[in-house]
Structure 1
């Protein structure tokens, strides 16, 4: 229960889904949490709200952790920097950064609007870089190393139809991870990326995503779509849980992974090696 005791983690997109799961898992293992979420807008499916952020705070504290949690937009560097500054004022440091916030949208590439394309890229790639730009100088100055754990996707590793800017952004995050690993190495700052298959969170449990997999049934639920989701994976499951990804985050954040850097870690039920994608 003490694998990251005394460390401070900076996490984007903590109001629900993977971000919340990572925050609670790291708190359970002894870390203090600095995090933020947009808690606004709609990108074809509903995003988290302030009540979700408040629930993350409750769960982190219930797990024994301390937390600074704010509303902020990952696309706004000043807002991201302000959240981290507030957290460092309270906790004194940052050791772990998990640039997790992301959105998805679907269309054949030629049907994407400019606004849709830019919104996904700005959130999933520019917003991820903003977390790096905010956190890395503090790690370098402190001189005690650090660990960046990026959120990739099977779409970081292979073509996924209809994902457009999402796939492009997730390929880009792999390149960003490698740059952070190379440029951070002399400061003992490690950098890795986890690439999941579908994770059962709000990103797939919505009408937009379900409709991609069950186009002939507008009333379909996620469970109705499970057989189609399962065709993506080598193992006989439709998706993994957020906790499955958090297990990898805790490991990569801990000293157990102290010599692991620049690694692309699929937690994907074999999805990256399947021949065809469902949907």
Structure 2
């Protein structure tokens, strides 16, 4: 590991870590040397991940977390601090998508997406920032947005709206938190193949989507590692309020 991206001595909290990108982010940070609090609603998968990281000489603890519940967030942060030490990195990854025509979307479905993808990101960022300010050590907050926060698509109105909001929330927080040595940046992936979406992306709809991507293919989880480690480490110490888009050129295409 290049010393510039070394995370030895750092403590990271990753939300939505039970599957998909969150699971991969946790492993990537652990490999770089960070102790990792892996948090999600489904603790069974988290325990498996903690064992896997431990088997590779890393340190991870599973914590049950509901990002829509501020009390759950407080308890998660307290547990992470008690077990691992002061949190210096937050990966705000938890999110959901409901694919449905806008005219058919129920109020409850809209609210659920907003509550998870936007309110959850806000409450996590606020409480972890308060933790960092209280302990006086600064740190890095990485909000996981999406290419769909900049370029919309049909049948995902709530998802597109929340990811666009996360992008500007990132910028707003970066202005206020810079004085506390807290950097706030966003990662905006395009279509990245994971266990969750692999069947869809390898099917007929996936073939159509590929034609809209200049690189004519979907990203792999490892394609996000460089940007993640950049934002998590001191390599980005003079970088805040930035959004890194990794989408094979999708957002650049008309």
TM-score by length of 1: 0.85
Residue 20 of structure 1 corresponds to 23
SS at 2:48's partner residue?
helix
Alpha-carbon separation, structure 2, partners of 1:226 and 1:273: 19
Give the drift of 1:191: 0.8
Which among 213, 216, 236 is matched to residue 233 of structure 1? Answer: 213
1:153-192 alignment runs, 5 A limit: 153-192=146-185
Alpha-carbon separation, structure 2, partners of 1:261 and 1:62: 34
Question: What per-residue deviation string (whole Å, max 9, x for no partner) do you get for residues 107-147 of structure 1?
Answer: 22222111111111111111111211221111112222211
User: Does residue 125 of the first structure (1) align with residue 118 of the second (2)?
Assistant: yes
Alpha-carbon separation, structure 2, partners of 1:11 and 1:250: 13
Aligned residues: 251
CA contact (8 A) 1:19 1:101 kept: yes
Give the drift of 1:59: 2.3
Which among 78, 99, 108 is matched to residue 106 of structure 1? Answer: 99
Alpha-carbon separation, structure 2, partners of 1:63 and 1:160: 40
Which among 1, 10, 32 is matched to residue 13 of structure 2? Answer: 10
The structure with the greater share of residues assigned to helix is: 2
Instruction: Compute the RMSD of aligned alpha carbons.
Output: 1.6
User: Does residue 273 of the first structure (1) align with residue 252 of the second (2)?
Assistant: yes
1:185-224 alignment runs, 5 A limit: 185-205=178-198, 210=200, 222-224=202-204
CA contact (8 A) 2:38 2:46 kept: no
Residue 214 of structure 1 corresponds to none
Give the drift of 1:223: 4.2
Give the drift of 1:268: 0.7
SS at 1:101's partner residue?
coil
In the alignment, structure 1 segments of 5+ residues that lack a partner are 40-49, 211-220
